[in-house]
Chains A and B, each alone.
Chain A
Amino acid sequence: MPTRVLVPSGVLGLGFDRKALARGVAMRPDIIAIDGGSTDSGPYSLGAGQSKYSRAATRAEWRELMLARAEAGVPLVIGTAGTCGADATVDWMFDITAELAAELGQSARVARLYSGQPAERVITALREGRIAPLTPAPEITEAGLSAMTNIVALAGAEQVQAALATGAEIVICGRTTDTALIAALPLARGDHAGAAWHGAKIAECGALCSTHPMTGTIMVEFDAAGFTVEPMAEAAACTPFSVSAHMLYENSDPFRLYEPGGHLDVTAARYAALDGRRVRVEGSRWVPGPYTVKLEGARAAGYQTTILAILRDPRYVAKARDWVAGLQAFLAAEISRRMGLEPLAYSLEFRLIGQDGALGAMETRRGQPVEIGVLGIVTAASQALASEIGKLINPFVLHHPLTPDEELPTFAFPYSPATTDRGALYEFALNHVMRLDAPMDAFRLTVTEVGHARR
């Protein structure tokens, strides 16, 4: 049975063309599916269990999608709610949903799919030999797993289908593969499996697979043989190039995509233009495999304090690297003498913005910058310690001379205090898969009625 999936944009919080969304709703989709996050922005969201996007932006866009859902009369699903899809951000998204339902006078059945993993579950799986590393994988130990602030498993199509099967009108999923959210309904309705996953991958970033990426909204129609993709913004077009090139995006292998329960192989896929703006794709293949789910985990790896000084004196700019080397040696001695801390007990790094700030040792170009930003990053075992080191180094970062026999220079500090406490530094600590006997073994569903009481 053909299935139309409306994807409003690549992620909730990034905005979409409202006219394009309205056009999509008018085309009678079977479901509205939007991604709510990814690991793109780094480990902080998962480590802290917080959304990267503002509540206001999330709420404003979700409001429009809740209205679109009511108008279309079809389920609205969000994956990886609150950027990282931890249990806390699923509940954050639920609170916004409940608030909006009351405000809009809507009543709805809301399913929450939780992807959070208690450390004990993963430890048990590790003991039972059900955890396998991907390449490259950090070392894991039972103590290391227990120390992680959040572990999530990426839900696949089966878990999203279970959530839809509750009869929910709104489904808020924790960490989910970007593709599973879109593929779930077409797969449940028996559409072509290779097409379901391939079309989902093409549509997961919204209009990024079209000539006008910022317009957001995309419609994918799945059927027994393939899928057809069409942008909803009038100005946008999908071409065989724009669609097939999307397989390259944020993908280490453009032909294979691993999902819970198998992988997608698009080696034999054929892309054909149906007209100036729609593309038809057939020939993608789904290859079933063991039922594994990917794990993501984050842990605190210290606490940071930063300091930024700007060198404008041409002599210092020209010799910035030497200056930093001298400063660093001087500070290591001062920190040891005054705080009794040896260099192994903390990290102090200076990056030269304007010289090689983004690429470090890989940088090949050398220029003559007008000024150089010296970004000092202190990492220590506690915020108190990082902050204390920051205060200790502050006057020297301001005044350290290039040579011992010159007048003390004073550099530019852009603000006061010159140091900024950054809080915890989180790091991704898992790149593994966990084998499950049944898809729902590591996931949890709750269903709640929100808004006005049902009559």
Chain B
Amino acid sequence: MRVADIALKVRSKNAGPFWVTVDIFCGSAVAFARLSRLPTAAIARVYGQPEQLLKRFDIAELNVIKISFPRPVVQGSREDRDMHGAQWAHLLAEMELGD
């Protein structure tokens, strides 16, 4: 089972040139409860980031989980491959949930 099989939508976007933010719209309280159990460490691994750099917001009122972290490459710098950071969402959407 992957995140995308449970969540309504996963999207990502730059939050300014130095940050990227990923929103998981769970769509229901049940999906939110399940996805809230996703360890931050596992999400950090998907993006190859140290866990302590991730800011995480589990917002029950919206059934949304939001994860923000500094862009490992600054938007538009030579190594950047995705100017808007919008494709990053798919990595999390395709992440296997395990148990």
Contact = CB atoms under 8 A, between A and B. Distances in A.
Contact of B75 (A42, A134, A252): A42
B17 A358 contact: no
A42 B55 contact: no
B17 A39 contact: yes
Interface stretch (A323-331, A392-400, A423-431): A423-431
B74 A138 contact: yes
Interface of B: 13-19, 21, 23, 25, 46-48, 55, 57, 59, 61-62, 64, 66, 68, 70, 74-79, 81-84, 87-88, 90-91, 94
A6 B25 CA distance: 29
A428 B18 contact: yes
A121 to B, nearest CB: 22
A349 B76 CA distance: 15
| Interface-central residue, B14, B16, B91, by most chain A CB under 10 Å | B16
A431 B62 CA distance: 30
Contacts of B18: 134-137, 428, 431
Given A40-B84, A41-B83, A244 B68 contact: no
A434 to B, nearest CB: 16
Contact of A250 (B13, B47, B87, B88): B13
Interface in A304-356: 347, 349, 351
Nearest to A304: B78
Nearest to B17: A428
A451 interface: no
B62 A250 contact: no
Contact of B77 (A39, A363, A427): A427
16 contacts: A39-B16, A42-B17, A135-B18, A250-B13, A251-B21, A252-B15, A351-B81, A357-B81, A358-B87, A359-B87, A359-B88, A359-B91, A362-B48, A377-B78, A379-B78, A428-B17
A241 B12 CA distance: 18
B81 A364 contact: no
Contacts of B88: 359, 362
B13 to A, nearest CB: 5
Contacts of A244: 61-62
A1 interface: no
B77 A361 contact: no
A42 B76 contact: yes
Interface string A377-391: 101000000000000
